[in-house]
Structure 1
């Protein structure tokens, strides 16, 4: 696979980042609201749950790092989440429900991963296609 070592490093980093972010969100679910100057959430367990989901994605990224030739579908789902998350946040911001400061969520959780995940999907596509081509 082209750029295999790079892809392994990126997905290892993504795995560690997601697990750590998920743990932090579970331990301190009000951090974003303090950061953005918003009133505290009345249901902080929702943000803790978001942290759990993001942390679990870390396990999937670890699997992509372990076997990059077989991680296309996992990485595609990851990138889709990294695109749809900012779309949802943009809608909240445009409707005036959340302040622009909440974009901090997308800076490290989403935007920084678009290019490396996209590059990986580009490089992994031939391996994925071969796996599902007729014999």
Structure 2
């Protein structure tokens, strides 16, 4: 009986991915449609908004859709979760060096933690758990 429970993707895993997808779609929509507000808040400056900010919004929207797709087909698309983890790490570093130009405001740190770093541990746990489910299913087939 215990083996059968190992064979399924737990509802909380899909929940994490659905939450991440919904959150990223909302945040990406906001960044894309209101780049000035976002940039002025995160940088605490009145400087002109870099045009790349709108593209960042599109990227965040894309990853939101990616997380929703993984939630629907977790076993098939599990490796795309590694792309999501990498994007959180690389995106955070890129934003710091190229948009913030090495300056860290309190708002930037909040943005970094809430939009990138907070998702890495649950994504890693979900990734490992889904790989285990795939491994058990493969072993049962052979």
Residues 24-103 of structure 1: pairs in structure 2 closer than 5 A: 24-35=30-41, 36-43=43-50, 45-91=51-97, 97-101=102-106, 102-103=108-109
Q: Is the 1:26–1:51 contact (alpha carbons within 8 Å) kept by the matching residues of 2?
A: yes
CA-CA distance at 1:92 after TM superposition: 5.8
CA-CA distance at 1:11 after TM superposition: 0.5
Q: Is the 1:25–1:48 contact (alpha carbons within 8 Å) kept by the matching residues of 2?
A: yes
> 2:67 and 2:83 mapped to 1: Cα distance?
11
TM-score normalized with structure 2 length? 0.76
Q: 1:13 aligns with which of 4, 9, 19?
A: 19
CA-CA distance at 1:41 after TM superposition: 2.8
Indicate the RMSD between aligned Cα atoms, in angstroms. 2.7
Which residue matches 1:23? 29
Which residue matches 2:126? 120
Relative distance call for 1:42 and 1:91 in structure 2 (3 A) is closer
CA-CA distance at 1:107 after TM superposition: 1.7
Deviations 1:49-93 (A, max 9, x none): 110111011111111111111222111100111122223345469
Q: Is the 2:21–2:68 contact (alpha carbons within 8 Å) kept by the matching residues of 1?
A: yes
TM-score normalized with structure 1 length? 0.80
5+ residue gaps, structure 1: none
